[in-house]
Amino acid sequence: MIPVALFLDLPALETVLLIGSILGLMLTEILNSAVEAVVDRIGPEIHELSGRAKDLGSAAVFIAMVIAALVWIGIAGPAIWQLFTH
């Protein structure tokens, strides 16, 4: 997605928003993986708080995905549409 953002002829701020949304999603996924690794390291037994930590990490990734999708639809969508219609 980052090469696509650089390819599109958009103002610098919009390009930064596109790239930032992808990097934010990647960062959230890395933090979620870290939480899951720590929870799994603590022990194999099932615990309510361990499940909640994993669920909240997954929810954070989902929210980051929604934000990235909205940014890309709002900014890149019209630019890509214009490439194919002109």
Which residues are tagged catalytic? Answer: 29
Contact 25, 68 (CB under 8 A): yes
Q: Are 42 and 61 in contact (CB under 8 A)?
A: no
Residues 68, 21 contacting (CB under 8 angstroms): yes
User: Whole-angstrom Cα distance, residue 49 to residue 30?
Assistant: 20
